[in-house]
Amino acid sequence: MVRAIAGGRQVWSRLMGLLFVVVVVDVVAALGVLPFGRLVPGGLVGVVAVIVGIVVLSLLVGVAPRSTRTEPVVLAPPVRGEWTAVNSPGQQVPSHGTRTRGQLSAVDVCGRSTATSPTLVRWGLRGTPPEAYPGFDEPIHAMAPGEVVRVGDRQRDHRARDTWPALLLMMTLEGILREVGGTAKVLGNHVVVRHDDGTAAVYAHLRCGSATVAVGAQVAVGDVVGRVGNTGNTSMPHLHVQLMDTPRTDAAAGLPLAWSGIECTGEIDPPFAAFAKDPADTALPGMPRNGEVFRVG
């Protein structure tokens, strides 16, 4: 039942969005601005019913299956060179603050900052082009052998949401529209690989047109599946990667994920210093904490 409810996330999100629109239109109509009357019948009782519907749908959107597996699944790292971890299971689990969409141990991997890297957020109106960020267009490698079951490759790379107005817009209207649009709009361009043991990995926010695999293709450990981009619900170019117990992202339970052959340097990337805190008790050992630079030989 839990998995079925979670699998209907896109339906719940769109119904909730529709009810929000109904409420807004109804309020505006009540002010006499529109040439027609209110949409919600029953006066106050009708409005309360709509609000209750929104609350129920929001609860359904938050439903997520759980796996009984506690030991991390150790896979090969998806990048090479030096990178910075953000929203990492090496900091806490759930790493992104939610278990929905199989994100239990998801990791955001950003290019290590340089002297010329843009600031994370600044005053201004227009965001920075994604090409200005370290890590953009770097290759992404398969963490385990398996079959490609989903590829999305057509969404354009947008400018970074690195100004206060753009960041606010992303966290409100843009975020709502992506949620209503479904998981594909949140992940941006992405590749899903079903591994030989039945687990599945998501590689998200890929650069437009960079996917090097097609549905049905077999990949080996280390094969390039795409390149780091800035598509979907992202404020700057990075790779979002996660491990699940099924390729059906909305209905998936996230699995604990660890990487072999990485070196956690202990160094904190300066722009991410504000996110660097002592790991929580739930943190997975061997994974970099938030803001920590890690190295893949």
Task: Give me the pLDDT at residue 36, please.
Answer: 64
Domain boundary assignment for the chain: 2-61, 73-296
User: Can you tell me the mean pLDDT for 122-142?
Assistant: 95
Is the pLDDT confidence value at 135 over 90?
Answer: yes
Task: Give me the pLDDT at residue 290, please.
Answer: 96
- Superfamily grouping for domain 73-296: Glucose Permease (Domain IIA) (2.70.70.10)
pLDDT band (50, 70, 90) for residue 34: low
pTM comes to 0.92
Task: Give me the pLDDT at residue 37, please.
Answer: 58
Is the pLDDT confidence value at 40 over 70?
Answer: no
* CA diameter of the chain: 66
Q: Is 267 left (phi over 0), alpha (psi -120 to 50) or beta?
A: beta
2: three-class secondary structure by DSSP: helix
Q: If you ran DSSP here, which 8-state letter would residue 115 be given?
A: T
Burial class from Cβ neighbours inside 10 Å (0-12, 13-18, 19+) for residue 97 reads: exposed
| Average pLDDT along the chain | 92
pLDDT band (50, 70, 90) for residue 51: confident
pLDDT band (50, 70, 90) for residue 54: confident
Task: Give me the pLDDT at residue 30, please.
Answer: 67
Task: Give me the pLDDT at residue 35, please.
Answer: 62
